[in-house]
A and B are shown apart, each in its own frame.
Chain A
Amino acid sequence: MTETEVCDVELENPVMPYLRQERLPHIWCPGCGIGTTVNCFTRALTDSGMDLDKVAIVSGIGCTGRVAGYMNLDSFHTTHGRAIPFATGLKLANPDLKVVVYSGDGDLSAIGGNHLVHAARRNMDLMIVCVNNFTYGMTGGQVAPTTPLGATQTTMPYGNFENPFNLPFLADACGAVYVARWTVYHVKQLAKAMLEGLRKKGFVFIEAMAPCPTLYSRRNRLGDGVDQLKYYKEKSKVVNGADTKDVGLTFQGEITVGKFVDRDRPTWLDAMNEHYTQHFGEKYVPYGVSHGQD
């Protein structure tokens, strides 16, 4: 191929139309995995064929919390840990929207843990993308509810002695209808999980393991982003349908990835409409069905 021919090729990155390009460059560090998850998300959006005017993204606070700010969608950067209840209000007030919550492990499972478990219990129709980098990146690498035993963090300077969450098990136990875990090494699988999540009705929980070279890797002498990808590649085992109680993570140990849960149960809104239709009869106008006309 000659140089001229190369220039004739469409050079725009296919991700670009999904981004608020005027907000670039982004804040993420070299080797950070969050951008890779965003790339997967844009592929899932493309493949979904959805009307992007009807997709909203909600983030909490933290490095992953900045995703909402870069996506060219209706996007909400809320308060720390509270993306899920904000998204709950947004979704219930306009059921025509597909609402995606995109946030980090600390945001969703520590300060936001109560909201996570209750939204899963209710089967609120939300897709949760939880980027798990095992640390609080934005504040400088403190211990998270996901930090593996033995890993060093600034507030666990002699190694973490606190038991971490197994997030897929938590989401499963609380009633999520779709639960998957992939790493940012598994870009095809992660994008496919996001696509399935976008199409799934109900509470979807996707854990995306991602390196934080600046804080998690450096403090634990794990090398750079590429070294973490190598670890993901070498130690990941795909077990679709794995029992989520068996997929807990250990420090640099084996990683079980795959789609663990895919089931159906009525969403909160469907349950409400069905219940009120039974109770009130034809006096009740199902909520959200005529939405957009009021």
Chain B
Amino acid sequence: MHADPKGVLTGIHFIDGDHAACEGAIAAGCRFVAGYPITPSTEVVERFAARIPLVGGMFIQMEDEIASSIAIQGAAWAGKKVMTVTSGPGLSLMMEHIGLAAITEVPCVFVDVQRGGPSTGLPTLPAQADMMQVKWGSHGDYEPIALSPNSPQECFDLMIKAFNLAESYRVPVFFMMDEVVGHMTERVVIPEASEIDVVERKWTAKKPGEYRPYETDGSMVPEMVKAGDGYRIHITGLTHDDRGYPAMNPQAQDKLVKRLVNKIRDNRDKLVDVRADGVEGADVVVVSFGITSRVAAAAVEAARRKGVKVGHLRLIISWPFPAKVIRDLALTAKAFVVPELNMGQMVLEVERAVAGKAAVISVPHAGGTVHEPSTILEKIMEAAQ
């Protein structure tokens, strides 16, 4: 179905990534946001708070990120598309409810405008150091989805995709911005509502009495209902059976946890979203994501001018990691160069996929600013030898 025109600011705008992300969420149908102020993400909720009263939705500033990350889940069970927005320290506080969203299968979007850490770190300066935290941060096994926009335009476009994926798979989806992407102002084109495809929640057609909250068909994604519609559902963070009732035994755990991870793992190939630039037959492949991909693109161009056969693979969906794409490239490439604004996180995934078939060169950066293109260029040249 198409976006509700009431929420779509069709036109050409000159706005930053935080504002564009907010517009993307509204266009995607998000009508409930709970949040807590934290630099450099706050502009997202500020804009939502200003915009939403006349769109017919709700913003509430909660007392902390713990409350924000569960208030949205209450709202999701009342039928809303929901989002919360934060940065590192707030994301750390939200971990418990990422697990709750995973086990109760609540469609929701967590925006993380990454800043330098650990702890309070660098509130106003960029990093990409939460990549492993969103993959592994909450206890137990689950598979999240994460997207890595690199421009205000992508903050709009990919946010719609983030909401659609949250609804399709009923998982928490992470929108992994960073301070630079959040605060850079660029041209953003917002299309007509009729050109924006939005995925509706997977509502059940079953009647109360027939419906079981966690019964699934082949898709492994159960159908949803909302509170107040007479289904008298029970939803718990405990391991549960198809009825949603607590079932604390190894068999129930096996069935539930396998489905939670397999609904993503079995769809990994469908979930691949990369931008490949000249990777076929390249000797060196640069793997990047988010803001670093823009710096890496400059380094790749410079290396090409020096005659190096270098390709650039940019991760749009960073989780699940596109291991198969990397594995296939490792059959021909000599080396992979992985620049990122952290001390080496996604490079571990690249190494795992490459499995020794090519060299993998990490280009870490502690954050606070972006790489110098020359730093990445140097590594490309080193890799090409």
> Which residues in A have some Cβ–Cβ distance to B below 8 Å?
20, 22-23, 53-54, 56, 58, 68-69, 72-79, 82, 84-94, 96-97, 114-115, 118, 268, 276, 280, 283-285, 287, 294
- Residues in chain B near residue A86, CB distance under 8 A: 70-71, 73-74
- The reply to whether B60 and A75 form a contact with Cβ atoms under 8 Å apart is no
Q: A77-B235, A93-B78 are in contact. Are A283 and B71 (CB under 8 A)?
A: no
The number of inter-chain residue pairs (CB within 8 angstroms) is: 139
A58 to B63, CA, bound (A): 19
Interface residues of B in 296-314 (CB under 8 A from A): none
- The reply to whether A284 and B53 form a contact with Cβ atoms under 8 Å apart is yes
- The reply to whether B54 and A89 form a contact with Cβ atoms under 8 Å apart is no
Which stretch of B221-229, B251-259, B267-275, B376-384 is in the interface? B221-229
- The reply to whether B79 and A94 form a contact with Cβ atoms under 8 Å apart is yes
Q: A85-B67, A93-B74, A97-B228 are in contact. Are A77 and B80 (CB under 8 A)?
A: no
Q: A79-B96, A89-B32 are in contact. Are A294 and B56 (CB under 8 A)?
A: yes
- Beta-carbon nearest neighbor of B67 in chain A: A85
> Apart from A89-B74, A89-B82, A97-B78, what are 12 other A-B pairs with CB-CB below 8 Å?
A56-B228, A69-B246, A73-B232, A75-B234, A78-B237, A85-B70, A85-B71, A88-B67, A89-B32, A93-B78, A115-B63, A118-B62
Q: Of A68, A87, A268, A276, which contacts B74 at CB under 8 A?
A: A87
- Residues in chain B near residue A285, CB distance under 8 A: 56
> Does B66 have its Cβ within 8 Å of any Cβ on chain A?
yes
A124 to B17, CA, bound (A): 33
Q: Of B66, B75, B246, which contacts A89 at CB under 8 A?
A: B75
Interface residues of B in 208-240 (CB under 8 A from A): 226-238
Chain B interface category by residue count: 35 or more
- Residues in chain A near residue B227, CB distance under 8 A: 56, 74, 76, 90, 94, 97
Best-buried of B60, B67, B68 by chain A (most CB within 10 Å):
B67
Main secondary structure of the interface of B (DSSP, over half): mixed
- The reply to whether A53 and B230 form a contact with Cβ atoms under 8 Å apart is yes
- Beta-carbon nearest neighbor of B57 in chain A: A287
> Does B366 have its Cβ within 8 Å of any Cβ on chain A?
no
A71 to B59, CA, bound (A): 30
> Does B34 have its Cβ within 8 Å of any Cβ on chain A?
yes
- Residues in chain B near residue A91, CB distance under 8 A: 74
- The reply to whether A74 and B236 form a contact with Cβ atoms under 8 Å apart is no
- Beta-carbon nearest neighbor of A68 in chain B: B234
Distance (Å) between the CB of A63 and the closest chain B CB?
Answer: 14
- The reply to whether A114 and B63 form a contact with Cβ atoms under 8 Å apart is yes
Distance (Å) between the CB of B269 and the closest chain A CB?
Answer: 34
A77 to B244, CA, bound (A): 10
- The reply to whether A89 and B70 form a contact with Cβ atoms under 8 Å apart is yes
- The reply to whether A74 and B232 form a contact with Cβ atoms under 8 Å apart is yes
- Residues in chain B near residue A89, CB distance under 8 A: 32, 34, 70-76, 78, 82
Distance (Å) between the CB of A231 and the closest chain B CB?
Answer: 33
A69 to B245, CA, bound (A): 8
A124 to B226, CA, bound (A): 21
> Does B77 have its Cβ within 8 Å of any Cβ on chain A?
yes
- Beta-carbon nearest neighbor of B4 in chain A: A294
- Residues in chain A near residue B38, CB distance under 8 A: none
- Residues in chain B near residue A82, CB distance under 8 A: 66-67, 70, 96-97
Best-buried of B34, B74, B96, B246 by chain A (most CB within 10 Å):
B74
Distance (Å) between the CB of B78 and the closest chain A CB?
Answer: 3
A20 to B232, CA, bound (A): 10
- Residues in chain B near residue A118, CB distance under 8 A: 62-63, 67
> Does B64 have its Cβ within 8 Å of any Cβ on chain A?
yes
A90 to B235, CA, bound (A): 13
> Does B122 have its Cβ within 8 Å of any Cβ on chain A?
no
- The reply to whether B70 and A93 form a contact with Cβ atoms under 8 Å apart is no
Q: Which 7 A-B pairs have the closest CB atoms?
A: A89-B74, A93-B78, A90-B74, A89-B71, A93-B75, A85-B67, A94-B78
- Beta-carbon nearest neighbor of A268 in chain B: B60
A97 to B303, CA, bound (A): 62
A90 to B80, CA, bound (A): 9
- Residues in chain A near residue B236, CB distance under 8 A: 68-69, 76-77
- The reply to whether B232 and A93 form a contact with Cβ atoms under 8 Å apart is no
- The reply to whether B100 and A92 form a contact with Cβ atoms under 8 Å apart is no
- Interface pairs (9), CB distance under 8 Å: A53-B230, A78-B237, A85-B66, A85-B67, A85-B70, A87-B74, A91-B74, A93-B78, A284-B54
